[in-house]
Amino acid sequence: MSSYTVADLREVEQRCQQIAATELGLHTQEIVFHLVAPEEVYFAAANGLPARYSSARWGAQFESEYGRYRAGQGRIYELIFNTRPVHAYLMEGNSLVAQTLVIAHCLGHAHVFEENRWLGGVDRQIMPRVLSAADRIAEYMGAHGRDRVEDFLDAAHAIAVHQPQAQLLRRAPAGEPEYRPRRYDELFEAEVAAERERLREERRQMRRRFPREPARDLLGFIEANARGLEDWQRDVMSIVRSEQGYFLPQMRTKILNEGAAVIAHQEICQRLFLAAGQYWEYEQLNASVVAPRHGEVNPYSLGGELIREIMRIAADADDEDRERWSWAGEVDPWLRVREVLRDYDDAALLREFLTPRVCERCRLYAFERSARDPRLIRVSSREADEIREVLVRRHASLQIPVIEVVDADFRGRGELLLAHRHDGVGLDSEYARGTLVEIATLWGKACTVRTIAGADPDREVWFTGHPDGRSELLDEHGSPDANAAM
């Protein structure tokens, strides 16, 4: 590895910034690069945000990933945070070529952070609140005991992802049912009277129901309505909920964001005219970043290929492309790419641009699990339509089950009833039971979820968790199954 100075890194950053702004049209906002030791990079990566509160959860992640690094089994090259200004970490010990690739890569991320509409709701001034939250949680640990606060944090984290993911996805509130007079009502007085009475009863039930409409923000609902919480517990829940809200929009744009970053570092490094030895090293690093992964989707590979496909359609469209896209072959490639980076999330990007070419280049396939042994899988299709259906469904939901609070006074005992808005697949039994115990810990009373058995939509099952750690499986009538109690 050739030696370099901080001045060398500043020069590389300036050259990359100039290319990104003038030749690619990327919004090159302020990025603060930190040259830090490897343990600092891995510590920040494990925490998710710099200077976040102390937690055994983050400690375990740090020990695992830093241990792999020290054993030579992996290396973090790039770590960036969506803040204003953007903060990015460069790891001491990486070569100048590796630092160059990371700097160029981060410019792509920074453009998406600034321009993408799905990220518009992210609190980019979050760091002062993160520091304040870390101080408060440290005080709570001193006052109430580390184990108690850690356990409560774990319970809050168990359901923190169950919240509305974007303003665009929130439903309008439902109005009360009202009878609308029809032309011949006077001829059917008895039927009209019965219908009016039915609607009156429906309105009475709606007014008595709590919550009045199903609530998807599980942590927010419990924070606002649980009766037995202490003030410090409500504060901890608010901290966990708000920090998770920072991450959710970025989870929705992971493939698009990494695709923009990959294209940025590829295009910038091509224009830097690296020396032969440096370029060979760059090609090795780039190949390792975008290489397809066995058994999982590489967001760097898929994102980069999707962006390349958009550029191809814009500049070198065939007849099939022109039938599908009115702009095919008629627009500047980078102009179209910037429009996509502004308006799309992962689900929309995959739905529109996951073509057979992309599937082939990324070696994608759909698979199914063996009925005899779920650990065994077989390739079920290499057709782009089927692969697209699987990936769009996965990224539209983030693989987070849709769970709603439908009754906060279940059985008239102040218990919590949740409903799983499934798409033909039930909840994992072990996951459901464990999570319900955590919810019951937060709520202070038993918590039940209504779902289906496996992939059988006609068989309804209920799981219940209790604050004392017990969980049980109920039948479709809500009665305990003695053989399933834990």
* 231 and 132 co-located in one domain: yes
pLDDT of res. 168: 41
HSE-CB of 479 using CA atoms within 13 angstroms = 1
* Beta bridge partner(s), residue 35: 90
* Longest alpha-carbon distance in the chain: 93
pLDDT of res. 378: 61
Cβ pair 399, 165 in contact under 8 A: no
* 220 and 147 co-located in one domain: yes
* 17 and 86 co-located in one domain: yes
* 89 and 110 co-located in one domain: yes
**Strand intervals (E) in 257-386:** 366-369, 377-381
DSSP 78: -
pLDDT of res. 209: 66
| Structural domain contains residue 176 | no
* 362 and 313 co-located in one domain: yes
End of a domain among 229, 251, 273? 251
With a cut of 50, list the residues of the chain below it in pLDDT.
Answer: 1, 167-170, 172, 482-486
pLDDT of res. 1: 44
* 327 and 363 co-located in one domain: yes
* 277 and 334 co-located in one domain: no
- CA geometry: angle 242, 248, 253, nearest 5 deg: 150
Model pLDDT for residues 356-383, shown as the tens digit of each residue: 999 999 988 776 665 666 566 666 677 8
* 313 and 422 co-located in one domain: no
| Structural domain contains residue 343 | yes
pLDDT of res. 485: 41
Of 12, 16, 24, residue with least CA distance to 260: 24
Q: Pairing state of beta strands 447-453 and 415-420? A: parallel
Q: How many domains does the chain have?
A: 4
Residue numbers of the domain that contains 344: 293-397
d(CA 72, CA 69): 5
Of 104, 38, 31, residue with least CA distance to 69: 38
pLDDT of res. 220: 95
b/e for 66-93, b at 16 or more Cβ within 10 A? Answer: beebeeeeeebbbbbbbbeebbbbbbee
pLDDT of res. 195: 77
* 420 and 451 co-located in one domain: yes
| Structural domain contains residue 206 | no
Q: What are phi and psi of 417, to 5 degrees?
A: -115, 125
Of 249, 335, 344, 248, residue with least CA distance to 303: 344
pLDDT of res. 176: 60
d(CA 6, CA 75): 21
Q: Is the peptide bond before 38 cis (omega within 30 degrees of 0)?
A: no
